[in-house]
Structure 1
Amino acid sequence: MMIKFSAVLLGALVCHSMAFAQPNVKKETVPNGWHLMDQASTGYYGISLDKAYEFLKAKNIKSKTITVAVIDGGIDTTQEDLKAILWKNPKEIPGNGIDDDKNGYVDDVYGWNFLGGKDGRNVKEDSFEGARVYYALKSKYEGKDGTGLTGDEKAEFEMYQRARKAVTGDVNEQEIYMMKQMLPRFITGDSIVQKDLGKAEYNGNDLKNYSPKKMEAIFVKSMMIGISKANDSYDITNTQLISEMNGELRKGEAATTPPQEFRKEIVKDDENDIKDRFYGNNDVMTGTPFHGTHCAGIIGAIRNNNKGVDGVADNVRIMMVRAVPDGDEHDKDVANAIRYAVDNGARIISMSFGKDFSPQKKWVDEAFRYADSKGVLLVKAAGNDNKNVDVEPSYPNPVYADGKGRATNVINVGASGDPKNGGLAAKFSNYGKNEVDIFAPGVGIYSTIPGVSNYGNANGTSMACPVVAGVAALLLEYFPTLTPQQLKQAIEKSAQVPQDKVSQPGTKDMVEFSELARTGGIINAYEAVKYASTLVKAPVKKTVLPKPTFKKAKAA
Structure 2
Amino acid sequence: MAGLSGWIIMNRLFYFNIYYGIVILLFICAVVTVSADSLNYREKSADSGKSLQVLPQYAEDRIIVRYKPDARGPDDTLNSFMENTNKKVGGTVMADFSSMGISGMQIIRPPDSQSAEEAISEYAQQPDVLYAEADHLISLSPDESADSVSSSVSNSGSSSVTPDDPGYSLQWGLHNTGQSPFYGTVGADIDAPVAWNTTTGSSVVIAVVDTGVDYTHEDLAANIWTNSGEIAGNGIDDDGNGYIDDVRGWNFYSNTNDPMDDNGHGTHCAGIIAAVGNNNVGVAGVNWKAKTMPLKFLNSTGSGYTSDAISAILYADKMGAKVISNSWGGSGVSRSLKEAIDASSAVVVCAAGNDAEDIETTPLYPASYNSSNIIAVAATDYNDNLATFSNYGAISVDIAAPGVKIRSTYKDDLYAYLSGTSMATPYVSGVAALISAVNSSLSNTEIKAKILNSADAISSLKGKVVSNGRLNAANAVEAASGGGSTDPVDNDDLIVSFTAAPRSGNSPLPVQFMDTSSAEVTGWNWNFGDGSYSILKNPRHVYQNKGKYAVTLKITSGSRSGLLKKTGYITVQ
| TM-score, reference length from structure 1 | 0.55
Give the distance between the partners of 2:331 and 2:440, measured in 1 at CA: 35
Q: Distance in 2 between matches of 1:24 and 1:353?
A: 22
Greater strand share, 1 or 2?
Answer: 2
Pick the aligned partner of 1:495 from 448, 455, 471. 455
2:191 to 37, 48, 51: 48
- Relative distance call for 1:23 and 1:347 in structure 2 (3 A) is closer
Does structure 1 conserve the Cα–Cα contact (< 8 Å) formed by 2:248 and 2:293? yes
Partner residue in 2 for 1:333: 308
1:462-473 equivalences under 5 Å are 462-473=422-433
8 Å contact kept, 1:482–1:536: no
Contact 1:315–1:477 at 8 Å: present in 2 too? no
Once the 2 structures are TM-superposed, how far is the Cα of residue 24 of structure 1 from its aligned partner?
13
TM-superposition CA deviations, 1:150-172 (whole Å, max 9, x none): xxxxxxxxxxxxxxxxxxxxxxx
Letter in 2 for 1:415: A
> Which amino acid is the alignment partner of residue 377 of structure 1?
V
Cα separation, partners in 2 of 1:530 and 1:389, compared to 1, 3 Å: same
Matched with 2:381 is 417
Q: Which stretches in structure 1 are left out of the alignment for 5+ residues?
A: 17-21, 58-62, 117-279, 400-405, 503-512, 538-556
| Deviation (angstroms), 1:43 | 1.1
Partner of 2:469, secondary structure, is coil
Cα distance, 1:44 vs structure 2 = 4.6
Q: Which residue of 1 aligns with 2:466?
A: 518
Flag the structure with higher helix content: 1
Counterparts of 1:415 and 1:483 in 2: how far apart (Å)? 25
Give 3-state SS (helix, strand or coil) of 1:435's partner: coil
Secondary structure of the equivalent of 2:407? strand
Cα distance in 1 between the residues matched to 2:178 and 2:405: 20
Whole-angstrom distance in 2 between the partners of 1:34 and 1:384: 20
Where in structure 2 are there 5+ consecutive unaligned residues? 1-6, 22-39, 44-147, 149-167, 180-184, 486-573
Pick aligned residue for 2:279 from 305, 308, 312: 305
- Is 1:385–2:355 an aligned residue pair? yes
Aligned to 2:266: 292
Contact map agreement 1:39 1:46 (CA 8 A) in 2? no
SS in 2 for 1:35: coil
Q: Describe the SS at the equivalent of 1:532.
A: helix
CA distance in structure 2 between the aligned counterparts of 1:345 and 1:24, rounded to whole angstroms = 39
Task: State the partner residue of 2:326.
Answer: 351
Pairwise CA RMSD: 3.1
- In structure 1, distance between residues paired with 2:376 and 2:302: 21
1:535 offset after TM fit, Å? 9.0
Match in the other structure for 1:34: 172
Structure 1 equivalent of residue 152 of structure 2: none
Counterpart Cα distance in 2 of 1:394 and 1:317: 29
* Matched letter for residue 52 of structure 1: A
- Could you tell me how far apart the structure 1 residues matched to 2:186 and 2:41 are? 25
Distance 1:39 1:433 in 2: 29
- Measured against aligned partners, the alpha-carbon deviations of 1:59-79 in whole angstroms (never above 9, x if no partner) come to xxxx64200000001111210
Aligned to 2:398, which of 433, 437, 442? 437
Mapping 1:9-408, distance limit 5 Å? 32-37=170-175, 43-56=186-199, 64-116=202-254, 280-285=255-260, 287-288=262-263, 290-325=264-299, 326=301, 329-358=304-333, 361-371=334-344, 375-397=345-367, 399=369, 406-408=370-372
Structure-2 separation of matches of 1:312 and 1:367 = 27
Separation (CA, whole Å) in 1 of partners of 2:483 and 2:188: 26
C-alpha distance in 2, partners of 1:38/1:7?
A: 35
Residue by residue over 1:176-234, the C-alpha shift from the partner in whole angstroms, topping out at 9 and shown as x without a partner, is xxxxxxxxxxxxxxxxxxxxxxxxxxxxxxxxxxxxxxxxxxxxxxxxxxxxxxxxxxx
CA distance in 2, matches of 1:471, 1:39: 20
| 1:286 shift after superposition | 5.1
Residue 515 of structure 1: SS of its match in structure 2? coil
1:222 equivalent in structure 2: none
Instruction: Deviation per CA, 1:426-480: give whole Å up to 9, x if none.
Output: 111111111111000011110111123x211111100000000000001101111
Aligned mates of 1:84, 1:445 — CA distance in 2 = 22
CA distance in 2, matches of 1:324, 1:23: 28
Shift of residue 282, structure 1, vs aligned partner: 1.0
1:486 to partner: Cα distance: 1.0
> What amino acid is the match of 1:444?
K
Distance 1:24 1:530, change over 3 A: closer
TM superposition shift of 1:55: 3.8
Q: SS in structure 1 opposite 2:173? A: helix
Partner SS for 1:293: helix
Output the TM-score relative to the length of structure 2.
0.53
Q: What's the secondary structure of 2:280's corresponding residue?
A: coil
Q: 1:534 Cα deviation (Å)?
A: 3.4
Q: Is the 8 A contact 2:211 2:302 kept in 1?
A: no
C-alpha distance in 2, partners of 1:337/1:446?
Answer: 26
Shift of 1:332: 1.3
| Aligned partners of 1:91 and 1:100 also within 8 Å | yes
* 1:362 Cα offset (Å): 2.0
Which residue pairs with 1:458 in the alignment? Answer: 418
Distance 2:350 2:427 in 1: 11
* Equivalent in the alignment of 2:92: none
Distance 1:354 1:68 in 2: 19
CA contact (8 A) 1:328 1:355 kept: no
What is the rounded CA distance, in whole Å, between the counterparts of 1:536 and 1:521 in structure 2?
19
Match 1:482 to one of 425, 438, 442: 442
**3-state SS in 1 of match to 2:226:** coil
Check the 8 A contact 2:287/2:433 in 1, yes or no. yes
Match of 2:77 in 1: none
- Tell me how many residue pairs correspond in the alignment: 327
Aligned residue identity for 1:414: A
Residues 23 and 437 (structure 1), Cα distance of their counterparts in 2 relative to 1, 3 Å cut: closer
Residues 365 and 398 in structure 1, CA contact (< 8 A), matched pair in contact too: no
Separation of aligned partners in 2, 1:469 and 1:352: 10
CA contact (8 A) 1:303 1:314 kept: yes
Residue 398 (structure 1) shift: 5.3
**Alpha-carbon contact 2:326-2:349 (below 8 Å) kept:** yes
Cα distance in 1 for residues equivalent to 2:357 and 2:302:
20
Q: 2: distance between equivalents of 1:38 and 1:457?
A: 16
Residue identity in the other structure for 1:54 = N
How far apart in 2 are the matches of 1:93 and 1:332?
27
Contact 2:271 2:408 in 1 (8 A): yes
Distance in 1 (CA, whole Å) between partners of 2:228 and 2:42 is 56
Q: Are 2:379 and 2:386, in contact at CA under 8 Å, matched by a contact in 1? A: yes
Q: Closer, same or farther in 2 for the Cα pair 1:365/1:350, shift >3 Å?
A: same
